Structure 1
Amino acid sequence: MTRKRAEPNGHARPGLQGEGADPAAESPVSDDDIAPVPPVGAADGERELDAGEPEVGNTLQTYLREIRRTPLLTPEEEFATATRAREGDFQARQAMIEHNLRLVVSIAKNYLGRGLPMTDLIEEGNLGLMHAIGKFEPDRGFRFSTYASWWIRQSIERAIMHQARLVRLPVHIVRDLNQVLKARRQIEARSDRLVEGDRPARVEDVAALLGRPVQEVAELLRFAEMPTSLDAPLERDASETMIDMVADEQATDPMGLALHNEVEQLLDTWLAELSEREREVLAGRYGLRDREPETLEVLAERLGLTRERIRQIQQEALVKLKRRMARQGVDRDSIF
């Protein structure tokens, strides 16, 4: 289900639900944290702009320039503003939003290439920011950026889980997966791995860093594999898509149909060479000519014979058919 998002100007609709906060250490954001931000459609995994949306990149850059003009609050100003916001002061709440939009951008950059464009990441982060303002207790003595970072990340991760994936994952799986991916990036960024080039970190190394079982880490990494769209073009021919290569199980096979018709004609010829009683027994037992298969008991009662005699007639007729089929090179399984 898609939620209505806030525009990346801070004035978003509140109401994101969450559990208790789990704030991680986060330092105040400087201008360097948001400049420069990769343009929408960069090679880090974002989708490229097409001819129908030329203004998205310019809008994002304009937004980033605007939020840079708002200075960061000092600890004293932040405490006073947050206190008024907690007491219901709307202007103070707006000030807390506007003075912390840089924090959202700095966190959102870490989620590029996860299936959502930068503008959507910022919008979702703004929702988390507003939720954090409503929960923040300045009397506890820590900075707002430390507290809000957790809510911003949670809001962005939830959006990625619900919107960017074709297959939705439970929240706890997404949380564990993010820990695994972060550990893998840490290993791949180590200077002692430069000689290994672009080779991804081993699952065993990631598991050792996290202190988790290798099998559990391997299963989580499988969730990180993004599904491939059936409409994706093939590399060898852009005019063909993946779905063009998928066999249609409902389609009629011309060769198979022709073979089936030929076998049907041969079967009619062979059955005509049997006695009337033999034809009736085989037709009843195997449901030939669109009949429902019958048991030995039903056939015996209908034909006025014993069950054993029906079985004997069936076997005799099958032996005769088998000889004719062998001469024509037809497999019995293609008929019965």
Structure 2
Amino acid sequence: MRVPTLSRRAREACLRLRLWLRRAVGLPAPRIDYINGSDTLPPPLTREEETALLARFATGDTSVRNRLIEHNLRLVVYIARKYESTGIGLEDLISIGTIGLIKAIGSFQPSKGIKLATYASRCIENEILMYIRKNQNLRFDVSIDEPLNVDWDGNELLLSDILGTEGDVTSRGIEEREERELLHAAIARLGDRERKIMEFRFGMQGEEKTQKDVADLLGISQSYISRLEKKIISKLRKEIGKSL
């Protein structure tokens, strides 16, 4: 099966879906329901646990990345709630913030003497702010070498620190190709409306859309889209599990 070339935002959408895929293969991570769910978010890592995982990640052990992400999701939710008044749904803010967290984990350098939580907070917040500005149709031009902000330890944070190098993107693309194939195969087996919802929401064929955008396009309520989305992702997890 030929997998279409994905845009950068689509690749980031795949990263979000990979969190679900990782759970589907049985990694010891609880299912997360971000809002009003019965499950709770994983607790923060202790300093010793975080140091050990970062050391493994620095040596190329990518198997620990999912754990680093999931145990910092509380930070995403905390920051996302600060922007609820913007009119963007909290679930969408959390999804966008999670992209920032994923970028933070991938580009974090302990040797710079910055705490992961400090660095991740700025990455999460800047990802959300860029999304808000884009959706408000504001002009937003920025150099990748221009300081976005100064973190709590007084260190400048550059956009290039968040995005990583082109080599990083290429390497991740090769590593994730097999998982993308599983995702596309599972999505292809969905019904027409289910497939459209996932393609719109996660930008699988182009620009990703908010729940409200999808609801307007399909002529149904945003709350119904939210419920359908959760059911569809659950179905995808089962489909992917059968393929592994």
TM-score by length of 2: 0.44
Query: Considering only CA atoms, is the larger Rg found in Structure 1 or Structure 2?
Result: 1
* Higher normalized helix content (fraction of residues): 2
